[in-house]
Amino acid sequence: MSTWHEYVQRDAPLPEWPYPIRYGEEDALVTDVLVLGGGIAGCHAAINARRRGAKVVVLEKEATKWSGNGGAGVDHWLSACTNPCSQVTPEELTDRVMADSGGYDCGPLRYVNAREGWDALLDCERMGVRIRDLDGEFEGAAFRDPETQLLFAYDYQSRCDLRVYGHNMKPSLRSELRRLRVKVVDRVMVTALLTADGAQGKRVVGALGIHTRTGAVYIVRAKATVLATGLPGRVWSFSTEYRPTFRDPNLTGDGVAVAWEAGAEFARLEESFPDSGAFAYLPYGVGNAHNTWHGCPIVDANGKEVPWVDRDGTELRTAAERFRPSPGQRFMVGHGQRVPASYENHVKELAPDLPQRIARGEFVLPLYADLSRLPATERRAIFGLMVGNEGKTRIPVYDALTRAGFDPDLDMLQVPVMDPAAYGHANFWSGMAVPHWRQWGCGGLVVDWDLRTSLEGLYAAGGAVYGAGAHSSAAASGRYAGRKAAAYAATAPEPRVDRARVEGEKARAYAPLRQSRRSIGWKELNAGICRVMQDYCGEHKSERTLREGLRLLQGLRESEASTTFAANPHELTRALECRSIITVGEAVMHASLARRASSALLSFTRLDYPTVDPPDWQKLLVAKLVDGKVAVGELPLDYHLRPPYAPTYEENYRAHCDA
Amino acid sequence: MPERTSFGKAGAVPAKAYMVPNPPTPNRAIDFEPDLCNGCNRCVEICRSDVLMPNPEKGKPPIVLYPDECWYCGTCVLECPRPGAITLLHPLNQSVSVIWKRVTTGEVYRMGMLNPPPPNPRPPAG
């Protein structure tokens, strides 16, 4: 007997909510540094603020021990440019990434990642995460350094991306938080930032949240706050019935919503990518040759191998060539970096014309991922090390597949049978994207070289900052932001919390408990919001339809969302998440209205402004709320290298890092 | 508490029926082995989505209340001190496409098949 249905169908009474109900009760905390989000960025921020002597509180919506998008493990540690084997400098990597992103990435975030990513990994090693092949299982492999026992990924020559045994990353960080006596409060969803005098645009002095099990309200007064919440999801695509399982479904943009409402400045909000939503397959659990499975041979139904090609389209003759740069190429940039492909950063790939060749009958479906064709160390690295340690693959893929009898030494894993067009990228498990089912792009908070946002007292790390990044970026930027927040808190004046704001927020947060059941619940509301986003903020956008979309979101906010009911603290949290999603959607639509040009770099199409990336629109549009109204400004793409900052990454880092 | 119906017992048609909503989809997500699980609730404490709730009867396996909110992260399995007490069950629309073929024999297998091959006992690296 496991399910609720089984439990109730035995004449047992309907089970009561298992946790004490504490609606309206207040838990007040006072601290130097408040970290919002206990994922990878948040844990590193908290640890480093504490090491600088600050008193630290973490509010986490899930449970810190395994929480967050990176919470179930990690197999790649990207941008470890300062590891002893790296042949790439932080400056080189940052310059490459910034150039290939068209300048739209966040320079300070990328540089901090390249500069401190390795240091953050060493921190993790000290906490008990294994980062080396200590027992020599991979001895002799091209991706192993005999002296340091480090294992490399993607590019065995440049050696700045590492393979790690990171399945226990979060429990290790959690233990360190405990050891340092950081106060971690799990199961609290942040619903508002508190600002000086309760005013938009003023200093951030803490946050307010609701406990997801008891419904109690948490009011934290803090001298400095680090926003370390994850990338918003459930904005364009939502179904609990049949849904993708790649991204943590609890990440709903609560951090974006509360920072937006507090008046913080955002960039790159207009960007979104097509998503396959419910059409996706088990992530990394079906045949593919992407990221964790990079380099795996793909064969057709008759055993014919699909060729790998270099950046000139020339077929590679050996498997070893998949893992080293082309002649004349400085280094390759791995998939997880989320940098658009370029000739300079090109990673070896399956023949990009595979869809046409399947359509012509040159390759016969189904395809298979045949690890048995790789040398034993490569095979074991992909399936035993990477799949065995990556977030969400140790149990869901390694354990589930081996328990079912799969043996990578003997078996080929089938690639899903799809429309030929879906084979254009080796990330086969993601299925075929639907243009108007979008996923969050790289939008986030604008930061300076202290990783401080536009609001005094508010710092940001990881996915909360605009621009792309991966696990090591979250760790490195959390480390940096934690130091800076602690330094600010050391001299900052004692904050004061505006009581009227707290009362207003409490009334707003508990509203779903007072609603008649003749309204709708959170699931139906979430799906309705998504429909508006799909239709009015999908692939093709225009002034008129975006304005109509904003009107519809406002209508939902005033009607269905204001009467959504909740039966218990769990449903209450979900209903509040829907409000976050509406706010996120509004911010995206406002930013989309402001960019009156299309952009390939931002995956952004305006029907009424079809010109793609015209030079005068190659800039960051920054948006924020001022007195409740949206104000849009602009920043040069390289604002972080212009006055008042120094002209190089290195100089700015040295001046600000507090290392 | 004695079970007054034979719900869930293979082979027996229940004598009684209840008014219940359709089961949420995916139906189970997480399965407990009642003989191994001692109801310690460590999985309940760490589940990110609160899919699992403590059983009102102490010592009994948690109740899978919100299987429709499971992320399939498997951290409940990692957290469980009793191997085999928790099994992650992928939704059928994903498990049905996890298929593999033995290179030497051409035999085809899939996750969830009738008469599956024996498990591969090799643990992950590290």
**Which tokens in the block code for residue A574?**
């979900």
Using the structure block, give the residue that is written with the tokens 């300076």: A448
Mean of pLDDT values over A108-121? 98
Chain B residues with CB-CB distance to A300 below 8 A: none
Name the residue of chain B whose CA is nearest to A402's CA.
Answer: B120
Residue A243 has pLDDT above 90, yes or no: no
The predicted pLDDT at position A516 comes to 78
Which of B 16-45 lie inside 8 A of A, CB atoms?
18, 20, 23-25, 27-28, 30-32, 34, 45
Mean of pLDDT values over A341-354? 96
| B1 touches A at CB < 8 Å | yes
Q: Do B61 and A2 touch (CB under 8 A)?
A: yes
The predicted pLDDT at position A13 comes to 84
| A370 touches B at CB < 8 Å | yes
Least CB-CB distance to A248: which of B60, B71, B123?
Answer: B71
The predicted pLDDT at position B6 comes to 44
Name the residue of chain A whose CA is nearest to B87's CA.
Answer: A400
Task: Measure Cα distances from A254 to A146, A232, A330, A401 in Å.
Answer: 45, 8, 40, 35
The predicted pLDDT at position B4 comes to 43
pLDDT per residue as tens digits for the range A288-337: 999 999 999 999 999 999 999 999 999 999 999 999 999 999 999 988 88
What string of H, E and C letters represents the secondary structure of A218-270?
EEEEEEEEEECCCCCCCCCCCCCCCCCCCCCCCCCCHHHHHHHHHCCCEECCC
pLDDT per residue as tens digits for the range A555-575: 999 999 999 999 999 999 999
In degrees, rounded to 5, the angle at the alpha carbon of residue A226 between the alpha carbons of residues A108 and A506 is 145
pLDDT in tens, chain B (126 residues): 444 444 555 678 888 898 999 999 999 999 999 999 999 999 999 999 999 999 999 999 999 999 999 999 999 999 999 999 999 999 999 999 999 999 999 999 999 999 999 999 999 998
pLDDT per residue as tens digits for the range A7-36: 888 877 889 999 999 999 999 999 999 999
**Which tokens in the block code for residue A356?**
């046409």
Which stretch of DSSP H or E encloses residue A14? none
Q: Is B40 exposed, middle or buried (0-12, 13-18, 19+ CB in 10 A)?
A: middle
Residue A472 has pLDDT above 80, yes or no: yes
| A10 touches B at CB < 8 Å | yes
**Which tokens in the block code for residue A121?**
């990994």
Q: Do A71 and B73 touch (CB under 8 A)?
A: yes
Least CB-CB distance to A406: which of B50, B54, B120?
Answer: B120
- The mean of the pLDDT values for chain A is 96
Select from A489, A464, A461 the least CA-distant residue to A44. Answer: A461
Residues 6+ apart with CB under 8 A from A17: A568, A569
Q: What is the DSSP letter of A501?
A: H
The predicted pLDDT at position B9 comes to 59
What string of H, E and C letters represents the secondary structure of A389-440?
CCCCCHHHHHHHHHHCCCCCCCEEEECCCCCHHHHHCCCHHHCCCEEEEEEE
Nearest-CA distance from B106 to chain A in Å? 9
The predicted pLDDT at position B3 comes to 46
Nearest-CA distance from B73 to chain A in Å? 5
Which value, to the nearest 10 degrees, does the dihedral of the CA atoms of residues A83, A88, A92, A97 take?
Answer: -80
Using the structure block, give the residue that is written with the tokens 């969400």: A392
- Residue B51 and residue B67 in contact, taking contact as beta carbons nearer than 8 Å: yes
Q: What is the DSSP letter of A368?
A: E
Q: Using CA atoms, how far apart are residues B10 and B8, in angstroms rounded to an integer?
A: 6
Rg (CA), chain B: 17
Residue A108 has pLDDT above 60, yes or no: yes
The residue of B48, B52, B70, B122 whose CB has the most chain A CBs within 10 angstroms, and thus the best one to mutate to test that interface, is: B48
Residues shown for chain B: 126
Which of A 249-278 lie inside 8 A of B, CB atoms?
249-250
The predicted pLDDT at position B1 comes to 41
Taking one residue from A and the other from B, the number of pairs with CB-CB distance under 8 angstroms is: 211
Amino acid at B42: R
| A149 touches B at CB < 8 Å | no
pLDDT per residue as tens digits for the range A590-638: 999 999 999 999 999 999 999 999 999 999 999 999 999 999 999 999 9
| A100 touches B at CB < 8 Å | no
What string of H, E and C letters represents the secondary structure of A297-343?
CEECCCCCECCEECCCCCECCCCHHHHCCCCCCCCCCCHHHCCCCCC
The predicted pLDDT at position A264 comes to 98
Q: What percent of chain A has pLDDT over 90?
A: 93
Which stretch of DSSP H or E encloses residue A378? helix A376-379
Beta strand segments in A458-583, E: 458-460, 540-541
Residues 6+ apart with CB under 8 A from A99: A342, A344
Residue A393 has pLDDT above 90, yes or no: yes
- Residue A205 and residue A34 in contact, taking contact as beta carbons nearer than 8 Å: no
Residue A1 has pLDDT above 80, yes or no: no
- Residue A242 and residue A218 in contact, taking contact as beta carbons nearer than 8 Å: no
Q: Using CA atoms, how far apart are residues A83 and A81, in angstroms rounded to an integer?
A: 6
Residue A62 has pLDDT above 70, yes or no: yes
Q: What percent of chain A has pLDDT over 70?
A: 100
The predicted pLDDT at position A175 comes to 98
pLDDT per residue as tens digits for the range A205-219: 999 999 999 999 999
Name the residue of chain B whose CA is nearest to A64's CA.
Answer: B46
Residue A332 CA to its chain's centroid (Å): 22
The predicted pLDDT at position A488 comes to 98
The residue of A2, A281, A298 whose CB has the most chain B CBs within 10 angstroms, and thus the best one to mutate to test that interface, is: A2
